[in-house]
Amino acid sequence: MKATRVYLLLHVLLSAGVLVHSFEPVTTTLFGFGLAAVGRAIYNYLHESCGPKWIHFNATGLQADLEAKLFGQHIASRIILKSVTGFMGNDNPKKPLVLSLHGWTGTGKNFVSQMIADNIYKEGMKSSFVHMFTAELHFPHLSQIETYKAQLQQWIKGNVTNCAQSMFVFDEMDNMHPGLIDSIKPYLEYYESLDGVSYRKAIFIFLSNAGGESITQTALDFWKAGRDREELELRDLETAISLTVFNNKNSGLWHTSLIDKNLVDFFVPFLPLEYRHVAQCAMAEMKAKNLLADPAVADQVASEINYFPKTERIFSVKGCKTIASKLDYFYT
Ligand SMILES: *[C@@H]1O[C@H](CO)[C@@H](O)[C@H](O)[C@H]1NC(C)=O
Ligand SMILES: *[C@@H]1O[C@H](CO)[C@@H](O)[C@H](O)[C@H]1NC(C)=O
């Protein structure tokens, strides 16, 4: 709204400049130029550009977001904060940051990508420097895989040429054709530059359900052994992830050479969510909607969703995914 008004004003100013200019060419040329310069300054001010005004990492903000809005993910939270802060604080990274987020649906993988974007780009996920790709949406037809490969390479190259600090998020990696993943491999490497373009300041995030089952199994084993979930460490899950991810032919991309070449900097496991986390999600959602956060409502919502395994009923089947719509239903 505000931006539109300024544009209007800008337009009037520029037209006035041109008008005056055409009446009195000599004396008002400077005036016209002046207005044009002001116009350009305002335009740059309003329009997202690839510079520190629009791209500025806020480590405190990321930490605060992870603490306040992501529940039950003590391992993921720690890795994300450390890796992104380290990468953004490095003026001369040797390769782009490549994160691979793994876990059950609704556990916060998309949400975390959004938090990262929010704390780097002023425009967050809406930024023209943040690109999200989904197999179903962007690369739906197997028969066109060669076209997609060329297109994707062109997009990455074009966008990084425009802005080195670009971010690319690949959702549903499990459905992505392995050939497609292979085609972006060169951009993830340690090259100083490729055809004169350096990719070292870019961020690539892969989201996938691969490994979700073994992460869940490990969490379940912990629970059955009466151990505290927070005692789970990355190394407890690494084997679980790598076994499925490396060996499972169904997990699409993973028999590509992304892994053997160590192009992925961090594999980030997302744990399945328990009742208490779902209730926390509901509380956060109420706050976000400016509703009075009522623990009784949160309890009610958390008790209405499905849990597995059938006998123990510990983990939410859909994580926190349906909480927002459940709340809508509750309040209407
Ligand atoms: C960083 O994030 C914190 C917490 O959200 C906020 O208070 C602060 O204003 C932010 N700093 C900048 C420079 O945006
Ligand atoms: C940047 O990526 C988008 C897809 O997110 C694509 O539509 C656009 O053409 C790319 N820009 C360039 C300059 O290649």
pLDDT tens-digit map of 148-189:
999 999 999 999 999 999 999 999 888 888 888 889 999 998
Question: Is residue 193 assigned to a domain?
Answer: yes
Residue type, 247: N
| Claim to verify: residue 178 and residue 243 sit in the same structural domain | yes
Residue 61 lies inside a defined structural domain of this protein: no
User: Do 105 and 232 reside in the same domain of the chain?
Assistant: yes
Ligand nearest to the CA of residue 63, numbered in listed order: 1
Same domain, 197 and 118: yes
CA of 322 to the centre of ligand 2 (A): 32
Is 61 close to ligand 1, i.e. is its CB under 6 Å away?
Answer: yes
Does residue 183 line the site of ligand 2, with CB under 6 A? no
Q: Are residues 255 and 151 in the same domain?
A: yes
pLDDT above 60 (res 22): no
pLDDT at 198: 95
Task: Quote the pLDDT of residue 36.
Answer: 79
* Average pLDDT score over the chain: 87
Report if residue 124 sits inside a domain.
yes
| Percent of the chain at pLDDT exceeding 90 | 61
Q: Give me the domain span that covers residue 20.
A: 2-46
If asked whether residues 152 and 291 sit together in one domain, one would say no
User: Do 30 and 109 lie in a common domain?
Assistant: no
Mean pLDDT, to the nearest integer, of 308-326? Answer: 93
d(CA 260, CA 185): 12
Give the pLDDT of residue 175: 86
Q: Is the pLDDT of residue 140 over 60?
A: yes
Q: pLDDT at position 41, please?
A: 78
Are residues 253 and 152 located together in one domain of the fold? yes
Ligand 1: residue whose CA is nearest its atom 4: 61
Q: Are 149 and 155 within 8 A, CB to CB?
A: no
pTM of the entire structure? 0.86
What's the pLDDT at 23?
A: 53
pLDDT at 108: 96
Q: Confirm or reject: Cβ of 63 under 6 Å from ligand 1.
A: no
Same domain, 115 and 244: yes
Both 231 and 283 in one domain: the answer is no
User: Is the same domain home to 232 and 280?
Assistant: no
**Residue 66 resides in a domain:** no
162 lines ligand 2 (CB under 6 A): yes
Q: What are phi and psi of 51, to 5 degrees?
A: -155, 175
Decide if pLDDT at 224 tops 80.
yes
Residue 274 has pLDDT above 50, yes or no: yes
Q: Are residues 160 and 289 in the same domain?
A: no
* Protein residue whose Cα sits closest to atom 3 of ligand 2: 155
pLDDT for residue 5 is more than 70: no
pLDDT at 259: 67
Grade residue 114 by pLDDT with cuts at 50, 70 and 90.
very high
- pLDDT bracket for residue 1 (50, 70, 90): very low
Indicate if ligand 1 lies below 6 Å from the C-beta of 4. Answer: no
Task: Report yes or no on 59 lying in a domain.
Answer: no
Give a yes or no: residue 146 inside a domain.
yes
Among 269, 287, 318, the domain boundary falls at: 269
Nearest ligand for residue 170 CA: 2
Q: Whose CA is nearest to atom 6 of ligand 1?
A: 61
The verdict on 148 and 221 lying in the same domain is yes
Least confident of 105-119, 265-279, 317-331: 317-331
* Cα gap 132→123, rounded to integer Å: 14
* Per-residue confidence band for 260, with pLDDT thresholds at 50, 70 and 90: low
Residue 51 Cα to ligand 1 middle (Å): 18
Predicted confidence (pLDDT) at residue 19 exceeds the cutoff of 80: no
Dihedral angle sign, alpha carbons of residues 229, 80, 134, 326: positive
85 is a domain residue? no
Q: In which band, very low, low, confident or very high, does the pLDDT at 42 lie, cut at 50, 70 and 90? A: confident
State the pLDDT confidence band at 239, using cuts at 50, 70 and 90: confident
Alpha carbon of 188 to ligand 2 centroid (Å)? 18
128 ligand 1 Cβ < 6 A: no
**Residue 219's domain is classified under what CATH number?**
3.40.50
Name which residue leads in pLDDT, 3 or 244: 244
Ligand nearest to the CA of 61: 1
CB distance 232 to 218 below 8 Å: yes
Last residue of a domain, one of 237, 269, 301: 269
Counting ligands in written order, which one lies closest to the CA of residue 163? 2
Q: How many CB atoms lie within 10 A of CB 210?
A: 24
How many structural domains is the chain composed of? 3
What's the mean pLDDT in 117-133? 97
User: Is residue 82 a part of any domain in this protein?
Assistant: no
User: Model confidence at 250, in pLDDT bands (50, 70, 90)?
Assistant: low
